[in-house]
Structure 1
Amino acid sequence: MRVSVETDKCCGAGQCVLVAPEVFDQRDEDGVVIVLDEAPPAEVHASVTEAAQLCPAAAIALS
């Protein structure tokens, strides 16, 4: 699994951080998502998938 984000789409809701904090964080200044691990281990794939599905701005892409 590869994780990428379109930061210009991110609205800073933070759902991704709540669901998969090992993979996502937010910038302090504006809350925009930061990807901590672009190739997360298999044991967190389910939470990363859930984070992508919950993203209100559809800013998270998985491949």
Structure 2
Amino acid sequence: MKLTVDRDRCEGYGLCAESAPQLMHLDEDGELVLDHEEVPAPSDSAAEVAVRVCPVAALKVG
């Protein structure tokens, strides 16, 4: 499963990073950093939750 972020849509709310800290975090400037673009199998559900909680639909898994 691949995780992608639409940088134009992302507003840095951080809800995704809170729900999947093993996959992503906000840097010191509030920019989302994906620690894993290819989501390891045990984190599939965390990635899906992160996609759902994003208020601007900036994340996608596929």
Q: Distance in 2 between matches of 1:26 and 1:18?
A: 9
The match for 2:50 is: 51
Secondary structure class of the residue paired with 2:25: strand
1:29-59 CA distances to partner (integer Å, 9 max, x unpaired)? 1x12111100121111101100001000100
* 1:1-63 equivalences in 2 (<5 Å): 1-29=1-29, 31-63=30-62
When the two structures are aligned, how many residues end up with a matched partner?
62
- SS of residue matched to 1:61: strand
Listed one character per residue, the Cα deviations across residues 14-41 of structure 1 (whole Å, up to 9, x for unaligned) are 0111111111111211x12111100121
Matching residue's letter, 1:4: T
| Alignment TM-score, normalising by the size of structure 2 | 0.91
Residue identity in the other structure for 1:18: E
* TM-score after normalising by structure 1: 0.90
| Structure 1 residue ranges (4+ consecutive) displaced by more than 3 angstroms after TM superposition | none
Structure 2: how far apart are the matches of 1:28 and 1:9? Answer: 19
